[in-house]
A and B are shown apart, each in its own frame.
Chain A
Amino acid sequence: MQFDRILLSHGSGGRLSQQLIHDVFLKELGNEILDELNDSAVFNVAEGKLAYTTDAYVVSPIFFPGGDIGRLSACGTVNDLSMSGAKPFYLSASFIIEEGLSINDLKTILMSMKQAADEAGVKIVCGDTKVVGRGMADKVFITTSGIGLIPDGIDISPRRIRPGDSVILSGTIGDHGIAILSQREGLGFSSDFISDVAPLNHLVASMLDEVGNDIHAMRDPTRGGLATTLNEFAQVANLGMRIYEDKIPVQDNIRGACELLGFDPLYIANEGKLVTIVENVAGDRVLACMKRHPLGINAEIIGEVVEKPEGMVSLVTRIGGTRVIDMMVGDQLPRIC
Chain B
Amino acid sequence: MRYIDEFCDPGLAKRLVESINRLSDKEIVLMEVCGTHTMAIFKHGIKKLLAPSIRLVSGPGCPVCVTAAQDIDVARWISRQKDVIFTTFGDMIRVPGGASSLERQKGQEGADIRVVYSILDALDIARNNPTKRVVFFGIGFETTAPSIASGIQLASKQGLDNFFVYSCHKLIPPAMKALLESGEVKIDGFICPGHVSTIIGAKPYEFIAEQYHIPCVITGFEPLDILQAILMLVKARESGQVGVEIQYTRAVKHEGNVVAQRILAEVFEPIDAVWRGIGVIPDSGLKIRQEYSRFDALLQFEMPEMSDKSDLSNLSDCICGLILRGIAIPTDCPLFKTVCNTENPVGACMVSLEGTCAAYYKYSP
Contact = CB atoms under 8 A, between A and B. Distances in A.
A248 to B, nearest CB: 14
B188 to A, nearest CB: 22
Given A320-B49, A322-B48, A334-B115, A188 B121 contact: yes
Interface in A277-299: none
B245 to A, nearest CB: 22
Nearest to B10: A319
Contacts of A314: 365
Kindly name the residue among B8, B47, B117, B121 whose own CB sees the greatest number of chain A CB atoms within 10 A: B117
B223 interface: yes
A53 interface: no
Contacts of A324: 362-365
Contacts of B8: 318-319
Given A188-B117, A320-B14, A337 B352 contact: yes
Interface stretch (B88-96, B157-165, B211-219): B88-96
B93 A337 contact: no
Contacts of A262: 90, 353
B73 interface: no
Interface string A70-88: 0000000000000000000
A334 B343 CA distance: 18
**A319, A321, A324 — which one has the most chain B CB atoms within 10 A of its CB?**
A319
Contacts of B363: 323-324, 326
B64 to A, nearest CB: 6
B91 A319 contact: no
Contact of A319 (B45, B140, B362, B364): B45
B121 to A, nearest CB: 5
Contacts of B45: 315-317, 319-323
Contacts of A321: 44-49, 223
A261 B35 contact: no
Interface in B1-43: 4, 8-10, 13-14, 35-36, 42-43
Contact of B62 (A186, A315, A318, A337): A337
Nearest to B63: A337
A333 interface: yes
Task: Identify the interface centre among B13, B44, B47, B364: most chain A CB within 10 Å of its CB.
Answer: B44
A329 B343 contact: yes
A334 B140 CA distance: 14
Nearest to B117: A334
Contacts of B142: none
Contacts of A316: 45
A135 interface: no
B77 interface: no
Interface in B198-228: 223
A320 B10 contact: yes
A335 B94 CA distance: 12
Interface string B334-356: 00000000110000000011100
A318 B114 contact: no
B157 to A, nearest CB: 21
A190 to B, nearest CB: 13
B361 A336 contact: no
A297 to B, nearest CB: 23
Interface of B: 4, 8-10, 13-14, 35-36, 42-49, 62-64, 89-91, 93-94, 114-117, 121, 140, 144, 223, 342-343, 352-354, 361-365
Given A309-B365, A320-B10, A320-B45, 18 more contacts: A186-B114, A186-B121, A259-B4, A262-B90, A317-B44, A318-B10, A318-B44, A319-B13, A320-B13, A321-B46, A321-B49, A324-B364, A324-B365, A330-B94, A334-B89, A334-B90, A334-B116, A335-B91
Interface of A: 186-188, 259, 261-262, 309, 312, 314-324, 326, 329-330, 333-337
28 contacts: A186-B114, A186-B116, A186-B117, A186-B121, A188-B117, A188-B121, A314-B365, A315-B45, A316-B45, A317-B43, A317-B44, A317-B45, A317-B223, A320-B14, A321-B47, A323-B45, A323-B364, A324-B362, A324-B363, A326-B342, A329-B342, A329-B343, A334-B90, A334-B117, A336-B91, A336-B144, A337-B36, A337-B62
